[in-house]
Chains A and B, each alone.
Chain A
């Protein structure tokens, strides 16, 4: 059976045995390509595994009717998967330097105190020796080296990458926007006008005063009062 016939048969039947046959026939490509990327910090076996999975995915996606040879089609597919693997591996959460240093100190001090006291020290004893709080000692103990963002987070299929909020969390922005809008809507018309001039149009206090026909001192006092009012309302709405 020619390459084209084999793929055509597989496309028509979806027969797993045929897919396995194709995979066996082309597994050497996965091996060759995996070898090309050895020496970049990932073991050959891992690369071979990634390449083999990419081969299986590629078999399902390949359409022999497009006239491309499978080896020409699969090479960029496997290469892409290997490169993605390298990229994903760099997605590690590194501890802040301060926490990392404290963790090292805590471990060293724990060793020293064990010898000194003849027993394993408590968090309080370590904290006292290091001059930090007990919470800081406990926090550093929790922080164990680096954690991959691909590590499962909880029982469902989510990993850490999925659950860590983005720096500009769009939902948080919407919530904040809603809360501020609602707090501003309760202001008087004059107060609203001041907020618009100062915070939407970003005018200076002097320009705002000119626009509103009042003194700059008045704008300054009113602004302080408005901000206090808004802060109070936002705190109240957050507590609710």
Chain B
């Protein structure tokens, strides 16, 4: 699994568009169709929102290249245990749009989410 791109940034709403643009760029680089790329952008936004609701101040988004494109979104800083009501929807949406969604906890708190961007032509 090769790292394609890693973004580290303060978890602020005004930076979401930049992250989405970068995600679109990575998808284009991997010849991922437009619709799947849009789904990937939605999923990254959902992950960032979930981390933001938990009080993380920074986030890392890691795009890795294997049989499929893997994305891992990680919170940095001190997270809280709180769960916003929309989080459940966010996770369900992730599962509905893309595959192999995994959540990771540290000290009982969600701190990272990963998923695979499967698309026509990917090997899985």
Dominant SS at the B interface? Answer: helix
Residues in chain A within 8 A of chain B (CB atoms): 29, 32-33, 36-37, 40, 69, 71-72, 75-76, 79-80, 83, 86
Q: Are A36 and B35 in contact (CB under 8 A)?
A: no
A54 shortest CB reach to chain B, Å = 12
Q: Are B96 and A80 in contact (CB under 8 A)?
A: yes
Contacts of A83 in B (CB 8 A): 35
Q: Which 7 A-B pairs have the closest CB atoms?
A: A75-B92, A76-B96, A79-B96, A72-B92, A36-B42, A75-B93, A75-B89
A173 to B42, CA, bound (A): 45
A76 to B92, CA, bound (A): 7
Residue of B nearest to A75 (CB): B92
B78 shortest CB reach to chain A, Å = 28
Q: Are A79 and B38 in contact (CB under 8 A)?
A: no
Interface centre among A32, A33, A75, A86 (most CB of B within 10 A): A75
Residue of B nearest to A39 (CB): B38
Contacts of A75 in B (CB 8 A): 89, 92-93, 95-96
Asked if B88 is an interface residue, CB under 8 A from chain A, the answer is yes
Residues in chain B within 8 A of chain A (CB atoms): 35, 38, 42, 45-46, 86, 88-89, 92-93, 95-97
A32 and B89 contact, Cβ closer than 8 Å, known pairs A37-B42, A79-B97: yes
A16 shortest CB reach to chain B, Å = 26
Contacts of A79 in B (CB 8 A): 93, 96-97
A71 and B96 contact, Cβ closer than 8 Å, known pairs A36-B42, A86-B35: no
A87 shortest CB reach to chain B, Å = 8
A69 to B91, CA, bound (A): 13
Contacts of A37 in B (CB 8 A): 42
B88 shortest CB reach to chain A, Å = 6
* A and B contact pairs by CB, cutoff 8 A, 8 listed: A36-B45, A36-B46, A69-B88, A71-B89, A71-B92, A72-B88, A75-B95, A86-B35
Q: Are B96 and A29 in contact (CB under 8 A)?
A: no
A17 to B47, CA, bound (A): 37
A79 to B95, CA, bound (A): 10
Residue of B nearest to A76 (CB): B96
A157 shortest CB reach to chain B, Å = 29
B13 shortest CB reach to chain A, Å = 15
Contact of B93 among A36, A40, A69, A86 (CB under 8 A): A36
A71 and B88 contact, Cβ closer than 8 Å, known pairs A36-B42, A37-B42, A40-B38: yes
Q: Are A32 and B35 in contact (CB under 8 A)?
A: no
Interface centre among A33, A36, A80 (most CB of B within 10 A): A36
B42 shortest CB reach to chain A, Å = 5
A33 to B92, CA, bound (A): 11
Residue of A nearest to B46 (CB): A36
Contacts of A76 in B (CB 8 A): 92, 95-96
B82 shortest CB reach to chain A, Å = 18
Residue of B nearest to A69 (CB): B88
